[in-house]
């Protein structure tokens, strides 16, 4: 199980790398990812405020001067990069460049050295309570669970393993109001842990309205 789970994460990472370094026409083909997956695979996850931007610091890039308000997780290399309070992104949107709004607060889950459309970035005020809780540590509780992107209808009809939850980008309730978490279930062989979508009150309300 562990091998299959880690292979899946490496495949997601490989797709992101190929998307970023591929040809311009293909550069923005990113694998759909649940926020929990962004949290698990990012080099850093931070809450930041965008102070200003410059197009002269790095050729071909926009550099944002940011105030890091909270660091939820970061690799040592990412922490060194974040000390400068600068994040860069390709100037050309055709090369996966993104645009952040000055003065706004975002949650960003990215990989070094630069931000791109395959990164996670969302204005804090636009996030649900579940998403905010997830990035502040809730998603970490599902570290042994993997969200598997479904790219076709047949995916949901296939087998579901104990360490995964299936998800498609169109599933708003699972994206904004839930997370893939381990849950104890009683079977004929006793209690076992299985990864399932967490049924929060907001998730239940979303499902009842959908």
Instruction: Give the residue numbers of the binding site for Zn(2+).
Output: 28
- Angle made by CA atoms 130, 134, 139, in degrees to the nearest 5: 135
Query: What DSSP element (H or E) covers 39?
Result: helix 35-41
How many whole angstroms separate alpha carbon 28 and alpha carbon 34?
A: 17
Instruction: Give the residue numbers of the binding site.
Output: 28
CA distances from 62 to 119, 130, 190, 201 (A): 15, 31, 56, 41
Torsion 155-157-163-165 (CA) sign: positive
Of the candidates 138, 101, 136, 137, the residue with the CA atom closest to the CA atom of residue 121:
101
């Amino acid at each position: 199980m562990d091998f299959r789970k880690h292979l899946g994460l490496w495949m997601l990472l490989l797709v992101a790398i190929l998307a970023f370094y591929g040809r311009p026409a293909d550069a923005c083909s990113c694998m759909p990812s649940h926020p929990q997956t962004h949290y698990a695979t990012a080099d850093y996850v931070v809450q930041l405020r965008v102070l200003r931007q410059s197009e002269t610091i790095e050729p071909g890039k926009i550099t944002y001067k940011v105030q890091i308000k909270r660091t939820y997780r970061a690799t040592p290399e990412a922490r060194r990069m974040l000390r400068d309070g600068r994040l860069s992104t390709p100037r050309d949107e055709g090369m996966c460049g993104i645009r952040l709004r000055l003065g706004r607060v975002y949650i960003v889950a990215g990989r070094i050295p630069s931000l791109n459309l395959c990164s996670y970035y969302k204005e804090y005020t636009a996030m649900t309570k579940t998403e905010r809780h997830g990035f502040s540590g809730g998603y970490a509780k599902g570290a042994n669970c993997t969200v598997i992107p479904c790219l076709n209808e047949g995916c949901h009809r296939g087998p579901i393993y104990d360490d995964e939850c299936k998800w498609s980008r169109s599933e708003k309730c699972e994206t904004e109001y839930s997370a893939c978490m381990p849950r104890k279930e009683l079977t004929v062989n006793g209690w076992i842990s299985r990864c399932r979508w967490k049924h929060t009150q907001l998730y239940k309300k979303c499902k009842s309205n959908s």
